[in-house]
Amino acid sequence: MDNLRQQDTPEARRYNRLHRRLGIADALLGLAMLAILLVTGWSGEIRDFAFNVSGGANYVLALFFYVLVLSLLSKIITAPLDYFGFRLEHEYHLSNQRTRAWLWDEVKGWLVGLTISVLLSQVLYLVIRKEPDFWWVWAWLAFLVLFVAFAQLAPVILFPIFYRFRSLDNDALRERLTRLSEKAGTRVRGVYEWNLSEKSKKANAALMGLGRTRRIVLADNLLANYSDDEIEAVLAHELGHHVHRHIVKSIALQAVITFAGFWVVKTVLRQPHPEWFQTQYDFANLPLVIITTTLLSFLLLPVMNAYSRYNERQADRYALKSIASPEPFISAMNKLAEQNLAEREPSRIVELLFHSHPPIAKRVAAARAWKQQVQGT
């Protein structure tokens, strides 16, 4: 049985293909909207409207109204794709969510996104106004602080907006996972059951938060369908990221990339664009800022995915070293692939461009190779 190689089903291949196309279409539609706003001069008209609504002289309030209009336009334009994504999950029997609940989540998601967008844009243009020559350095520092703050606050503020969490009732499993985390050298502030099943049939687990907000979260779908050994194997992988300091390394990498990104944005904004915006702090240039950073992200995506897959392989190896047998890890990977309708063996180009994790087939093969190595010693 161990030598049997499980293949992707046509259903899994089609679902993932449609899911990728949906993501690409969403990104291209958003970029097209921003480009149209720039080249037509509509971004400047929205800016003028925002100043008129805010009384003509209140820059901060005008910026808020500008971001609000931009956010509304984006949501309206991409709404059909969002609904298609909702129907896609139902078509492949991966969702438990009713239309009304989905719509409410969409509203909440838009409000959260708007809040974050307003905060980031206010910080960005405040720095540009105060430090017109070196704004990009100060903005880089401010965004790094906000990035770390969001990572720390997400488990206690952001995620509970969309999901319900409660302390894990299984005392034996909670103690087992707590010991595993202590062995990995990290202290967690609790083990929580994540009520994912009210929305999705997929399973997941995570080590969330930083410092005082760090916690273990286990989807109820995982708890219902996986053995304690399999859950331990999944969590051991998550703890592997802590042991190898992947979070710290990722923050450092993001710091370098963000620094370069702000320098590129600064260079772009300093080019003459009299028909689009007047000065660096003219927030009619916000679509150009977003387009520039998005294109940079696309260019770096294969490299970032390769780095992420390397980290995931390291975390897998730590998990295999931490558990008594690789069998629970192998069975958990196979269950997750089946339950989440994941591609076990995507094409090489799909893996390079879209996968932040190694394909399931490669992770299972590595675990089996580990098993043979251990048995041979």
Same domain, 91 and 197: no
Same domain, 93 and 34: yes
User: What is the CATH classification number for the domain harbouring 214?
Assistant: 3.30.2010.10
Same domain, 156 and 68: yes
Tens digits of pLDDT across the chain (377 residues):
444 567 889 999 999 999 999 999 999 999 999 999 999 999 999 999 999 999 877 999 999 999 999 999 999 999 999 999 999 999 999 999 999 999 999 999 999 999 999 999 999 999 999 999 899 999 999 999 998 898 888 888 999 999 999 999 999 999 999 999 988 888 888 899 999 999 999 999 888 888 788 889 999 999 999 999 999 999 999 999 989 999 889 999 999 999 999 999 999 988 776 677 778 889 999 999 999 999 999 999 999 999 999 999 999 999 999 998 999 999 999 999 999 999 999 999 999 999 999 999 999 999 999 888 876 65
Q: What pLDDT does residue 2 have?
A: 44
Q: What pLDDT does residue 131 have?
A: 92
For residue 368, being part of any structural domain is answered with no
For residue 357, being part of any structural domain is answered with no
Q: In total, how many domains does the chain have? A: 2
Q: What pLDDT does residue 156 have?
A: 87
Same domain, 43 and 117: yes
Label residue 357 exposed, middle or buried (CB < 10 Å: 0-12, 13-18, 19+).
middle
**Distance spanning both ends of the chain, measured CA to CA:** 22
Same domain, 149 and 186: no
Give the residue from 299, 321, 344 where a domain finishes. Answer: 299
Cβ neighbors of 268 (< 8 A, separation 6 or more) are: 288, 292
Q: Which domain holds residue 18?
A: 10-162+240-299
Same domain, 222 and 90: no
Label residue 142 exposed, middle or buried (CB < 10 Å: 0-12, 13-18, 19+).
middle
Q: What pLDDT does residue 13 have?
A: 94
Q: Is the full-model pTM beyond 0.85?
A: yes
pLDDT in tens, 19-42: 999 999 999 999 999 999 999 999
Dihedral sign computed on CA atoms, order 104, 110, 116, 119: negative
Same domain, 117 and 218: no
